[in-house]
A and B are shown apart, each in its own frame.
Chain A
């Protein structure tokens, strides 16, 4: 029995922890390669406001003493092709590990292209030597600058330059060498990393929480083990068995058990991870464009971290019991009531700590800034609330006891209250699990609602067509004009706006935009002014991150535009600016539209798509109907929900298990208190029923407290953490039905947990109860 609870508790805790860690690690490993290859984050970069840098400028910078390295990039066959110059790339940029054989510089210069086999399979360029390697991120191909220029048709042009961290002691100022270029300082993290970190954070929070819950279980199980063994230990000690040896033996036993349970846990964790990973991968790809391969590799670090956390957790959980054991007077016996009295004193400082933590959370929420403060706020909020839980429950129970009329009811309230110290850890676990579930469900659901609404706004056209090049685009436009209600050319380019990489869009004035692009903030009449080229609109990310407000001026290709509107742009990592088509054409005369939004009767979309296939040979990738995008987006969210839902159930199950363990522990200790009640005529069955009612009562109270905590958590995630991590704030929606469902789950978990101890109590032999009176305890 003890072994079972210990092993199950530890295994569950380790499984959740290592499962979540596994998913995180796998996803990170997948796109770290991409982020590193791009050299973003760790290196400063030189970029051009026009988005293109003449290769001659690169040479001029090198000859002026700048240690920079060129990057050429672009999409081909739906694959990101990145060209770099291995000779000048700063060391530290992660390239694939190619091994010593089979690769030489002549193959690189001769057009070698490196990528995963699956990426290469989709890639149809000629005159390249394809080399498969698992070390390049999915959907990415690495090659030489020259090869990339040739493949992308960008001879003599590079996209940006990586600045080596160590520069010579003298070089000409950038202003003097290439005044048209901008130096951008290294970012603290890559865009992809910053976005996906938020997602990982949710998962990690779940993992940690599960583990905390697991530790509560282990604590309970070990407490139970010690409680049950107390008579034996007493006997052994009375017979002269040395204390030190006894403790070493117990510790060794625990170590073995924890190793075994840890191994089982890691195995289970692998199963959890394998089940979740495809959904996580799809979520990350769909939401953030971060590519994750859907396959799981067994990494040694999981085994190590899983086992370490199992052993460490056991150590943590058993330290108190071992310490108590070492101090146990030889002949002391269990005295639950006395323990209960002592708990009162402990509760005072616990309450003090809880208040301090909650106040800290409040202060952080009011004045804190930055991601760290957001996380600190989350942590203080959760721990503070958990610590406050027993105190609040105790007050509530005392209140109940006061109101109780019958003796039986009074005994019930008082007895529940006395059990509180023993149950409080498990109840804290339940509170945390439930609050986290409320918080994360709220966040994900709010995200879904906001995002799908946003899609309706943004993808207002019924059908989108992408041309292969500008010439084809012109013919396409002419072909489409008579066939649809309206052709809306989409043209864009990229440049840095106030230091943030941004896309500049130049839409044709049309009611589609006026009707659908909702501003978060704007001047009156913003669209009318924008359409007459008097200003620009920017997305929330750009406004927040660069501190741009309505009325501020931004510079586009050396021309200043006042910002007239700020719009929500969910899920976009970079800045965005909208100017009207005529202004765009004047600023960027070389950019020609290659994409079109088509307003038309949705029913005619399939027919038009077929026409375009026949007349222009357009691939399906070049045509997107809005319904398809929406369906895809919703599918992505459904996958997110799968992940969230699975973790919901798992954490609640673990919390339920914690309650079960605590009740079992208490059951043995409580016999001396129950025996007199039984002796006065309350049947064992009735006592068992009361146990279940007690569990429901405590679970309900905890759930009631978890709801506000969960909402506070959700608010912190949406209004603090999200703004810091994503650069935009999500409106918060409430989902009462979801919360109700969660509360039902929580109560169900508690009832399931109470069922067994109650049944056990109901079947306790009268002789056992009688023994209480005969034993001189």
Chain B
């Protein structure tokens, strides 16, 4: 099938839509997140077909025995045309998987697409199982998971064990994204220890590190005047920081952050508290992408410089974006992940 049809198929995600990847599209018949956010586990590990979009988004900072740093991504997106699940091929649910491994000088990325309703991709809440084709993120419970993915030039097999509690962003999991009130349900498990094996063109590498899993669902998380976001997850010596900056058409930003203490206690910060500013850009695939930043959260005394482990961590997928491991220096030191969208 030519690229055009794929593009057309992803139309609800891309072209016709407002904002990045259609995330600003009006929610229509879909449910919208409401306050107060009440979660019910294990059900809420699974999919919410009443909502338009949803993701299971895992990133990890890894290290080989020789000290070489690596980054890893495993993501499953769900995108629905209608707020129902249908029989077999008539299902309006679409699934998209992205997997990547980043080394200091290479970035491996691959993508899978699947229709819902036929068993090729999906998520079960209990026992937890998220899969697309041969990729999977699976465990008896959410705290102990096995994870695999493979592409034409790489693969990985990892094991994950949670060392802390789930963390709920914004107002107990109700995460506001704009002044107009667009919001999503958003929680994370930022405390996974991860270890396993990367299979790369140069051979296999045993790695260990920390992983961060985001769960988020919504029907219109962005307002029409928002064109993309810069999202940071930082694992620092004194705690963890999630912060994002939504770029708006008038040049202003909407920011939000969560400070996560080492025991998992979360403190949410609304618009303006979190500040992220590009310091330098890199030419990536013909685009100017900011790959060095200063990040501040004054309330927690955070004032750090952040730079990409590999500035060329471009996700050349049907919806392209930048996603890669970062190194943190300044008031705090540590590692993390950076995602930047809407730089087309």
Count contacts on A: residues with CB < 8 A to the other chain: 42
Q: How far is the CA of A88 from the CA of B152 in the complex (A)?
A: 15
Chain A residue with the shortest CB-CB distance to B153: A169
Q: Are A87 and B94 in contact (CB under 8 A)?
A: yes
Quick check: A104 and B89 within 8 Å, CB to CB?
no
**Shortest distance from the beta carbon of A170 to any chain B beta carbon, whole Å:** 5
Find out whether the CB atom of B152 lies under 8 angstroms from the CB atom of A169. Answer: yes
**Is there an interface contact between B6 and A86, defined as CB atoms closer than 8 Å?**
yes
How many whole Å from A401's CB to the nearest CB in chain B?
A: 69
State A8–B120 Cα separation when bound (angstroms): 65
Name the prevailing secondary structure of the A interface residues.
loop
State which of B6, B81, B120 has its C-beta within 8 Å of the C-beta of A63.
B120
Query: Does A86 contact B89, Cβ atoms closer than 8 Å?
Result: no
Question: Which of B12, B15, B82, B90 touches A100 (beta carbons < 8 Å)?
Answer: B15
Residues of B within 8 A of A240 (CB): none
Contact, CB under 8 Å: A59 / B120: yes
Query: Is the CB of A624 closer than 8 A to any CB of chain B?
Result: no
Top 5 A-B residue pairs of the complex, sorted by shortest distance between their CB atoms? A146-B89, A89-B1, A65-B134, A168-B150, A87-B113
Asked if B262 CB lies within 8 Å of chain A CBs, one says no
Contact A87 B81 (CB under 8 A): no
Number of A-B contacts (CB under 8 A): 109
**Known contacts A90-B1, A93-B1: A63-B131 contact under CB 8 Å:** yes
Is B98 part of the contact surface with A, judged by Cβ < 8 Å? no
Partner of A170, one of B5, B9, B155: B155
Cβ of A95 within 8 Å of any chain B Cβ, yes or no, is: yes
Given contacts A59-B120, A94-B2, are A109 and B8 in contact (CB under 8 A)?
Answer: no
A224, CB-defined interface residue at 8 Å = no
B199 within 8 A of A: yes
Given contacts A86-B9, A169-B199, 8 further A-B contacts (CB under 8 A): A62-B134, A65-B133, A88-B114, A105-B11, A108-B9, A169-B153, A171-B134, A171-B150
Q: Tell whether A167 is near chain B: CB-to-CB under 8 Å.
A: yes
A91 within 8 A of B: yes
| CA A49 to CA B118, docked complex, whole Å | 24
Whether B1 contacts A168 by the Cβ 8 Å rule is: no
Decide: A95 near B1, CB < 8 A? Known: A87-B114, A105-B12, A109-B81.
Answer: yes
A88–B111 CA distance with the chains assembled, in angstroms: 11
| 0/1 string, B111-124, CB within 8 A of A gives 1 | 00111001110000
Which residues from A are CB-within-8-Å of B232? none
Q: Residue on B with the closest CB to A101?
A: B16
Q: Which residues of B contact A67 (CB under 8 A)?
A: 133
**20 CB-based A-B contacts, threshold 8 Å:** A59-B119, A59-B120, A63-B120, A65-B133, A65-B134, A67-B133, A89-B5, A91-B2, A91-B6, A92-B2, A93-B1, A95-B5, A98-B4, A105-B81, A105-B94, A109-B81, A109-B91, A147-B89, A168-B134, A170-B155
- A64 proximity list for chain B (CB < 8 A): 134
Q: Does residue A660 face the partner (Cβ distance < 8 Å to B)?
A: no
Assembled-state Cα–Cα distance A108/B120 (Å): 19
**Given A62-B133, A63-B133, A87-B115, residue A98 in contact with residue B8 (CB < 8 A):** yes
A104 to B13, CA, bound (A): 11
* Neighbouring A residues of B10 by C-beta, 8 Å: 105
Report chain B residues within 8 Å CB of A167.
152
A145 to B8, CA, bound (A): 17
- Residue contact A169 to B151, C-beta cutoff 8 Å: yes
Contacting pair A146 B114 (CB below 8 A): no
A171 and B150 CA atoms in complex are apart in Å by: 9
Q: Is the CB of B6 within 8 A of A166?
A: no
Q: Is the CB of B114 within 8 A of A169?
A: no
**Within the complex, what minimum Cβ distance (angstroms) separates A303 from chain B?**
27
B164 interfacial contact with A, CB 8 Å:
no
In the bound complex, what is the Cα–Cα distance between A100 and B10 (angstroms)? 12
A156–B8 alpha-carbon span in the complex (Å) = 26
The chain A residues found within 8 Å of chain B, CB to CB, are 55-56, 59, 62-65, 67, 84-95, 97-98, 100, 103-106, 108-109, 144-147, 149, 155-156, 166-171
Question: Does B5 contact A104, Cβ atoms closer than 8 Å?
Answer: no
Q: How far is the CA of A90 from the CA of B155 in the complex (A)?
A: 21
- Distance in angstroms between the alpha carbons of A103 and B10 in the assembled complex: 11
Does B38 have its Cβ within 8 Å of any Cβ on chain A? no
**Please, which residues of chain A bring their CB within 8 A of the CB of B151?**
168-169
Interface flag for B43 (CB, 8 Å): no
Min CB–CB distance B11 → chain A (angstroms): 5
Cβ-based interface call for B88 (8 A): yes
> How far, in angstroms, from A171 to B152 measured CA to CA in the complex?
11
Shortest CB distance B266–A (Å): 37
Cα–Cα distance between A147 and B118 once the two chains are bound (Å): 14
Chain A residues with Cβ under 8 A from B118's Cβ? 55, 59
Q: Is the CB of A91 within 8 A of B8?
A: no
Residues of chain B contacted by A91 (CB below 8 angstroms): 1-3, 6
* Residue of A108, A166, A170 with most chain B CB atoms under a 10 A cut-off: A170
Contact (Cβ within 8 A) B81 A106: yes
Q: Does B139 contact A (CB under 8 A)?
A: no
Q: Does any Cβ of A come within 8 Å of B92's Cβ?
A: yes
- Measured between beta carbons, the chain B residues less than 8 angstroms from A103 are 8
- Pick from A63, A84, A104: contact of B8, CB below 8 A: A104
Q: Is B191 an interface residue (CB 8 A)?
A: no
Contacts of A56 in B (CB 8 A): 119
In the bound assembly, the distance between CA atoms of A88 and B151 in angstroms comes to 15
Q: Closest residue of chain A to B201, judged by CB? A: A169
- Which listed residue, A85, A95, A106, A155, touches B2 by the CB 8 Å rule? A95
Flag whether B142 is at the interface (Cβ < 8 A).
no
